[in-house]
Amino acid sequence: MSEEVLINVGLGETRIAVVEDGVPTDLVLERTSEEDLTAKTGRAGHSLLGNIFLGRVQRVLPGMQAAFVDIGLERAGFLGAREAKCLCELMNLDEESLPPIAQCVHEGQAILVQAVKDPIADKGARLSANVTLAGRQLVMVPNQSGVALSRRIENEDDRARLTTMVEGIIEKLGTHGVTGAPAGYIVRTAALEATESELIEDARRLAVQWEKVREVQKLTKPPAVVYHDLDPVAKTMRDYAGLETSRVVIDDLNAFNEAKAYCAATMPAMLERIHLHNGPGALFDMYDIDGEIERALETRVELPSGGWIIIENTEALTAVDVNSGRFTASTGLEETSVKTNLEAAEMLVKQLRLRGTGGLIVIDFIHMNEPENNQKIVDALNHGFERDRVPTQISGMSEFGLIEMTRKRVREPLEKLLTEVSNPGTPLRIKTRGTVANELMRAVEKEACAGRPLVVRASPDVEHWFRARNAFLLERIRERLPVRVVLEADPSLTRERFTIGYLK
């Protein structure tokens, strides 16, 4: 399978698309507007994942086996007993036992925690006291011991080889006092192609980072951030560029140089696979990714045979309905159902990954009579999600033709990142002001190639978004583009519409 990673760096956001065999499968948005960075909620696209905070426990709720921790954001973070277990002073707990949350933390206590899930809807960030530092090949787990391996490393010989190698590295680093304290490691898939010296160097870099975190912690009063994870470009190289990545294409010179610098230090084998996109056309035009994003915001998705699926998100779960439409197989109803369901399963894998859908997902497939056909659908889903970076669990098909599955929720789905409810109490969603503003900026960059001054007219609320909340972006537009750009409010335009013309 051929895999490409495309990095589009805009004035207000960085977009990363993973393309497998010419089909976009994963999309990550990292917005850099002033509004997003000031609010620090993660809801508008600025991810908090991997950031480490010195927080203060606000409330301990024994009935929920959880605590709420102030980490300096709009909403307190949620720390469950499982994620706080490493702080517990109780002894002789087996691996599955959960101590009372009150034995782990107390109100007013300052603790080091890490964001493991972004804020979603009206919920704060999910936190863990078992902080980790991610490198290219290894993930360091400070003050823990032992070696764990990525679930995607399946070959038993590879697992044994890597376990032995990393156990030896832990012994060497401990002997030389590099970490200064015990540390365990999680071995990432990228370690499959790494030499022992590269793993040692990765472990040394992580040890240095951890010492810096500890130093910042000593000088900081809670709540505060004590460690920011990598910026979007370097994080993409670390987390998405791997063994099967044929190339990484970036459309911004500064980001291109940043990616090269990161790879030179941590993954030199990737250097020759990083390319700068200079046209023709926009980077995301290569695979119609903007079109794929628009289609991913629709509830109805067409299938090749003429059927379709409906994907509807609710607070509790995501419901999927499969319909055969006009398609009828010549061999009968059972064959029609099998073919449509297999197409739906393949499309669902793509759509759920692209949309960033997480949580409980219930799929209503077309009823089939033969048990072996039901198993075909379950197998198709399991096979499709094998390459998914997000942990997924899939149940068997029920007698009613339903399959339940869960996909780990790590951040807002695409729908909530890009749209919002137009009026409370109605299901209709419209694009947010930030989403429209970023589309506007991309369109302005394209038009500026003509070399003539531009006048941009947008709805009053989008124009207000620029001037009152993100005025610095207007300055970035003027600095980055070779032409004069004038922004005007036009009350006749709805939020999602804007026009670009030439100044006279």
The per-residue pLDDT for 488 is: 94
348 pLDDT tier (thresholds 50, 70, 90)? very high
Q: Which CATH number fits domain 50-128: 1.10.8.60, 2.40.50.140, 2.130.10.10, 1.10.260.40?
A: 2.40.50.140
Average pLDDT over residues 113-124: 84
Domain residue limits, the chain: 3-30+230-290, 50-128, 133-227, 297-407, 432-502
The answer, yes or no, to whether residue 271 has pLDDT greater than 90, is yes
The per-residue pLDDT for 107 is: 95
The per-residue pLDDT for 328 is: 62
Fold of 133-227: Ribosomal Protein S5; domain 2 (3.30.230)
Helix (H) or strand (E) holding 458: strand 454-458
Average pLDDT over residues 114-121: 83
Indicate the length of the chain as a whole number. Answer: 504
The answer, yes or no, to whether residue 329 has pLDDT greater than 80, is no
CATH code of the domain occupying 432-502: 3.40.1260.20
User: What's the CA gap between 361 and 302, in Å, rounded?
Assistant: 19
For the stretch 128-172, pLDDT in tens is 999 999 999 999 998 788 899 988 888 999 999 999 999 988 887
Are the C-beta atoms of 313 and 305 separated by less than 8 Å? no
Fold of 3-30+230-290: Nucleotidyltransferase; domain 5 (3.30.420)
The DSSP 8-state label assigned to residue 467 in this structure reads I
Do the domains spanning 3-30+230-290 and 133-227 agree at the CATH topology level?
no
**Mean pLDDT, the chain, integer:** 87
Name the pTM for this structure: 0.85
Q: Which residue has the tokens 């789905």?
A: 413
Are the C-beta atoms of 247 and 273 separated by less than 8 Å? yes
